Structure 1
Amino acid sequence: MSIESMIEATIGKEGRYSDHPSDRGGKTMWGIIERVARKHGYRGDMRELPRDTAVAIYRQEYAIEPGFAAVARISPVIGEELFDTGVNMGPSVPALWFQQWLNALNRRGRDYPDIAEDGDIGPVTLAAYRAFIGKRGRGGESVMLKGLNCSQGARYLDLARNRQPNEDFVFGWLANRVGVA
């Protein structure tokens, strides 16, 4: 799956403008929160954020910089899952889960060495994932996806338990984000 396909799928889930009172992200257009839009130089009204600006932000902030595009070149379904979750929770969260699951799935280092769990998907993490897929095949991809979805669901539960206004979003998060990549 290409970066553009990942972006299109996520924009389809995110929709257009939102400023829900329970959402700490505040004003959001195309799934891009105001803080991130400003970081990338957008100064206008969030209701007017051009779609092509949102696409450029998605490409850089949520696909290339966190390494999800590189993962997608190895495994499109996992790259898309990391990307979509990164848009929803921030890229560092699924990047860390990916590394944690790689370590948990390496059979105590017999398949490949443990890697740093630092949220940085670079050459070492990518090599570990290649080794994992080399050992486990596409069945490993399915298991990785299940692991990531388990972590994601647990995070949504924690978010709702620790901040009641997040309950406004749990049904949609589970319906539209977990297990749909």
Structure 2
Amino acid sequence: MSLADLPRLAIDALIDAVIDREGGYVNHPADRGGPTRWGVTEAVARAQGYAGPMRDLPRAESATIYRRIYWLRPAFDRVAARAPRIAAELFDTGVNMGTAIATGFLQRALNALNRTARDYPDIAVDRAIGPRTLSALDGFLKARGKGGETVLLRAMEALQGERYIALAERRPSQEAFLYGWLANRIGGG
């Protein structure tokens, strides 16, 4: 195994963990995403060219969708080269809430942790990973050292947890999922 294989192995493990956690076919009446298989919604599967019954969506096709839509497209692979645990959190949150929301959590946390722009400039919360977000992440990691990634991860998870609670408060039908979200999606669950 070469060093070039490490990022691919890491995303393979993340994808396998999400697929295992999400399980097979689900069509919960309170789930606004509708029918899912391996955690992939019908809308996403159709947008990626899958035309068969959702119950039959192959695991390998789901893995390809996860890699393309939830890892490469939002540039989480570029974050992984700098901060693998942050990238893993972005991926998991992106699968559950959307990659733009996950990226927004990162950007908000970076802005809040930059000590009023002394460590690096504020960035737009545009919910897209680009050169400025990556530069801010580099600046944060340089300024905060070894423990910085852990603190940034906690900040992102705090934002995620608040969003879950707000969703359940706004739409009581989502309370059916709140315990699982908090148990399985926050704190490395």
Q: Give the TM-score range, shorter chain.
A: over 0.9
Q: In terms of mean alpha carbon deviation, does 18-27 or 62-71 score higher? A: 62-71
Task: After TM superposition, give the deviation of residue 74 of structure 1 in Å.
Answer: 1.0
Identify the residue that residue 42 of structure 1 maps to in structure 2: 50
Task: After TM superposition, give the deviation of residue 139 of structure 1 in Å.
Answer: 0.9
Identify the residue that residue 96 of structure 2 maps to in structure 1: 88
Identify the residue that residue 137 of structure 2 maps to in structure 1: 129
Identify the residue that residue 79 of structure 1 maps to in structure 2: 87
Distance 1:123 1:138 in 2: 22
Identify the residue that residue 145 of structure 1 maps to in structure 2: 153
Q: TM-score, normalised by structure 1?
A: 0.97
Distance 1:41 1:83 in 2: 22
Distance 2:113 2:41 in 1: 34
Task: After TM superposition, give the deviation of residue 137 of structure 1 in Å.
Answer: 1.4
Q: Does 1:155 align with 2:163?
A: yes
Q: Which amino acid aligns with 2:65?
A: I
Q: Does 1:174 align with 2:174?
A: no
Task: After TM superposition, give the deviation of residue 97 of structure 1 in Å.
Answer: 1.0
RCO (CA 8 Å, sep 6+): is it higher in 1 or 2?
1
Task: After TM superposition, give the deviation of residue 6 of structure 1 in Å.
Answer: 1.5
Task: After TM superposition, give the deviation of residue 146 of structure 1 in Å.
Answer: 0.6
Distance 1:178 1:138 in 2: 21
The gaps in structure 2 that reach 5 residues or longer are 1-6
Identify the residue that residue 28 of structure 2 maps to in structure 1: 20
Distance 1:75 1:138 in 2: 11
The gaps in structure 1 that reach 5 residues or longer are none
Q: Does 1:7 align with 2:15?
A: yes
Task: After TM superposition, give the deviation of residue 138 of structure 1 in Å.
Answer: 2.3
Secondary structure at the counterpart of residue 155 of structure 1: helix
Identify the residue that residue 120 of structure 2 maps to in structure 1: 112
Structure 1 outlier segments of 4+, above 4 Å: none
Distance 1:145 1:12 in 2: 23
Q: Which amino acid aligns with 2:76?
A: F
Q: Which amino acid aligns with 2:176?
A: D
Distance 1:145 1:109 in 2: 19
Task: After TM superposition, give the deviation of residue 153 of structure 1 in Å.
Answer: 0.6
Task: After TM superposition, give the deviation of residue 38 of structure 1 in Å.
Answer: 0.4
After superposition, the C-alpha distances for 1:7-39 in whole angstroms (9 at most, x for unaligned) are 112112111110000000010001100000000
Distance 1:120 1:113 in 2: 17
After superposition, the C-alpha distances for 1:59-78 in whole angstroms (9 at most, x for unaligned) are 01100111212111211111
